[in-house]
Amino acid sequence: MKLRYAGWLVAAGAVLAGAMALSVSVGEADLPWSLALDLRLPRTALAAVSGALFGIGGALIQSVTRNPLASPDVIGVTQGAGLAAVIAVTAGLPYALVAPTALAGGLLAAAVAFLLGARSGFTANRFVLGGVAIAFALRAGIEITLTTADAIDAQRAQIWLLGSLNGLGWAEATPLAITLVVALPLLAMAAWALRTSALDDDTARGLGARPVGVRAAAGALGVVMAALATATVGAVDFVALVAPQTAQRLARTERPPIALAGVVGAALVVVADLVARRLLAPTQLPVGVVTAAIGGPFLIFLLLRARRA
Amino acid sequence: MLAAQGLTVGYEARDVLAGLDVTIPEGKFTVIIGPNACGKSTLLRSLARLLKPRGGTVLLDGVPVDGQSPRHVATRMAVLPQTPLVPEGVTVAELVGRGRSPYQRWYRQWTIADTEAVASAMRSADVTELADRPVAALSGGQRQRVWIAMTLAQQTPILLLDEPTTYLDPAHQLEILTLLGRLRDEGKTVVAVLHDLNQAARYADHVIAMRDGQIVEAGAPRDVIDAGLVASVFGMDCVVVPCPVSGAPLVVPL
């Protein structure tokens, strides 16, 4: 690992730890630390772990497609999860079933994009364009469902669509954290395999790699991580676009670096959730609005800095 | 040992190669020549198992190549494609290091042997002083030497190159061909597709002349390259005289 990358990993980790500590200590009331930990750590932990999944999922999808604009919402994962969730909410399914339904919807949409992308070896336009088409069709489905739904259901569904951590905690954070830990060896393998498989296919094959298989597996892993996070906290997915790009520009690597993208994503969602809770307190903003408001300008800043360099 | 038997390769409806038999002589510099679209790149890419043949087999060490693990094949035979994509932000040393991939696993990524192989590959291709430069910032000639260094880091007895001199100016073309000749002297089996007949005549030990997906003739340049072959393969009238420098056949178009 290069020194520059390791340095940024440590720095981003420190920012994440600081943001988590701040997020736990700041709130409606001044609480003693132990009580604040009990009450606020679950939500903060969920913010961190879902942000990490978004960041890692985005990094994998962008590496596989060699497209910095590719993210779960570009290949239809978010919209598939969204449509499934909206249907679940408006159909009056029990709350506990909304997230699993959303997960299934997200994975289904991605599976269709994968089928379209398989013929081009999961790079470039075919995969991404197919995903964009699926995303638009699903978005239309979401709008139709929302306009025909009962007003209160529609509002609940809207909040889910924007992404929100309100009222969530350990019950949601724990499965995501377990997923992340279980996936660690797979991520290490993916990061390694993408080193050669991100070269052009002929060169990669010459080096004994199986580039199409590696890209399919790494892409599937990224989709599962992003779909899990989306199903849990809703469509906070500007994170999946901006965290990998930020990590890549900070560390100046050839592909979005997986670990740093995870840490940056986690820090971004923790900070965004803190802002969402406190900016217009006692009104709580949906966290997805804030991630876009923070992440967008930051990416623009990095792009401008890169042009000067 | 690299050979092909009854090799049939095609794209969509068309067979580019139909039932080709080829043997690549060991420890020699073999050059495949022929007009555009004669199937010479297709032959090289099939030998390099970058294309899946419709029929016939490629034999590596006497064993069908598609039955061997890609990783093992990559320790026996290295390939340089025609226009490899240059990854952004990667330094020369890192790219040459990718050549060690077939020897590595995700849980055992780098050993002393890798460091030594990379250093020796960079020395051989004369790119040691470029080690820390980003590949994307290099000139065409330097870049080609870096790619060759990457294939050398694979430490394979066989090296296949698809038009390694295209897009280079004459001085850099000669530099690459001289490097390939030196690698042959060190014991490697080198196979390249070249466009320039005279370069093939001068640098190759063995020439394979192709037309319309068939091998017209194969052998040492002095035995093979004459006015008749050039007329039948390229449809071009010429005289062939001995090269004043090397004595190899020199094709002068009329």
Q: What is the pLDDT of residue A1?
A: 55
A246-302 pLDDT, tens digit each: 999 888 888 899 999 999 999 999 999 999 888 887 788 888 889 888 888 887 887
Residue B166 has pLDDT above 90, yes or no: no
Partner-chain contact B101 A195, CB within 8 Å: yes
Q: What is the pLDDT of residue B72?
A: 95
What is the average pLDDT across A192-207?
A: 88
Smallest CA–CA distance, residue B96 to chain A, in Å, is 11
Which of B72, B81, B89 minimises the CB distance to A206?
A: B81
Rounded-to-integer distance, Cα A277 and Cα A47, Å: 12
Rounded-to-integer distance, Cα B17 and Cα B251, Å: 27
A57-112 pLDDT, tens digit each: 999 999 988 888 788 888 888 899 989 988 988 888 887 888 889 999 999 998 88
Q: How far is CA A27 from the centre of its chain?
A: 25
Angle value at C-alpha B151, between B168 and A125, nearest 5 degrees: 75
Number of domains in chain A: 1
Lay out the sheet containing B2-11: strands in order across.
Answer: B14-24, B2-11, B55-60, B63-64
Query: Would A140 be classed as within a structural domain?
Result: yes
What is the average pLDDT across B103-115?
A: 87
Partner-chain contact A208 B71, CB within 8 Å: yes
Sign of the Cα torsion B147, B149, B155, B158 reads positive
Contacts of A34 (CB under 8 A, 6+ apart): none
Q: What is the pLDDT of residue A182?
A: 94
Q: What is the pLDDT of residue B206?
A: 96
Which CATH number does the domain housing residue A96 bear? 1.10.3470.10
Residues in B lying within 8 Å of A, measured between beta carbons: 45, 48-50, 69-75, 78-81, 84-85, 87-90, 98-99, 101-102, 105-107, 109, 151, 154
ipTM > 0.85, yes or no: yes
Q: What percent of chain B has pLDDT over 70?
A: 100
Range of the domain at A82: 2-17+31-308
B122-134 pLDDT, tens digit each: 999 999 999 999 9
**What's the whole-number average pLDDT of chain A?**
87
Contacts of B253 (CB under 8 A, 6+ apart): B236, B237, B238
Query: Would A293 be classed as within a structural domain?
Result: yes
Rounded to 10 deg, the angle between the B170-185 and B112-124 helix axes is 130
Residue B205 has pLDDT above 90, yes or no: yes
DSSP secondary structure code for residue B85 in this structure: P
Q: What is the pLDDT of residue A249?
A: 87
Q: How confident is the model at residue B69 (pLDDT cuts 50, 70, 90)?
A: very high
Partner-chain contact A203 B85, CB within 8 Å: yes
Residue A120 has pLDDT above 70, yes or no: no
Contact between residue B58 and residue B49 where contact means Cβ atoms under 8 Å apart: yes
Query: Would A24 be classed as within a structural domain?
Result: no
Contact between residue A114 and residue A132 where contact means Cβ atoms under 8 Å apart: no
Query: Would A23 be classed as within a structural domain?
Result: no
Q: What is the pLDDT of residue A25?
A: 87
Q: Which of A138-142, A148-152, A181-185 has the lowest mean pLDDT?
A: A148-152
Partner-chain contact B81 A253, CB within 8 Å: no
Stated pTM of the model: 0.87
Q: What is the pLDDT of residue A302?
A: 76
- A186 to chain B, any CB pair closer than 8 A? The answer is no
Residue A117 has pLDDT above 70, yes or no: yes
Q: What is the pLDDT of residue A124?
A: 62
Token digits for B248? 């190899």
For A123: left if phi > 0, alpha if psi spans -120 to 50, otherwise beta; the answer is: beta
**What's the whole-number average pLDDT of chain B?**
92
Query: Would A171 be classed as within a structural domain?
Result: yes
Residue of chain A minimizing CA distance to B45: A202
